[in-house]
Amino acid sequence: MWSYEHSVMTSASQESVWRLWADVAGWKSWNADIETIEVSGSFEAGTEIVMNPDGEQPVRLRLVEVVAPSRFVDEADLGEVVVRTTHQFEGIDAEHGRVIYRMEITGPTADRIGPELGPAISGDFPETMNALVRLAEKG
């Protein structure tokens, strides 16, 4: 298994962050790497999302867990490995929270593929998460 976690502090409310997460079509407003995105249904477990990162092949995700307004988990089954990302909001106090992204790569070849694939996928987490919380803080 390969894993990576990154978190950012925010003064945005949990509900503001959740609204941005649940608006899949709007992810491009805070994730600069997305060229196009399609969602097959509402923001709930089982829904498929197809993202076309800038200049790359489409990525097919499935929402495997959605717990409004605190957490959702998406998963990409790439055959020999599964890439699972947990997106979570944790309240710290009445005025502050923490947004956490945790990626895990599992499967028969995860120990070999993960150290290369993981950083390639998660390398923009800090930039993307900062853009997310800046937008959420604006309300």
> In the predicted model, what is the mean pLDDT of residues 3-11?
97
Q: Is residue 131 very low, low, confident or very high in pLDDT (cuts 50, 70, 90)?
A: very high
pLDDT for the residue 136: 97
Architecture of the domain defined by 2-26+68-138: 2-Layer Sandwich (3.30)
User: 70-124, pLDDT tens digit by residue?
Assistant: 999 999 999 999 999 999 999 999 899 999 999 999 999 999 999 999 999 999 9
- Asked if the model's pLDDT at residue 53 lies above 90, the reply is no
Specify whether the CB–CB gap between 84 and 104 falls below 8 A: yes
For the sheet with 59-67, list strands across it.
2-10, 96-106, 82-93, 71-77, 59-67, 48-53, 34-39
Residue 125 backbone dihedrals phi, psi, to 5 degrees: -50, -50
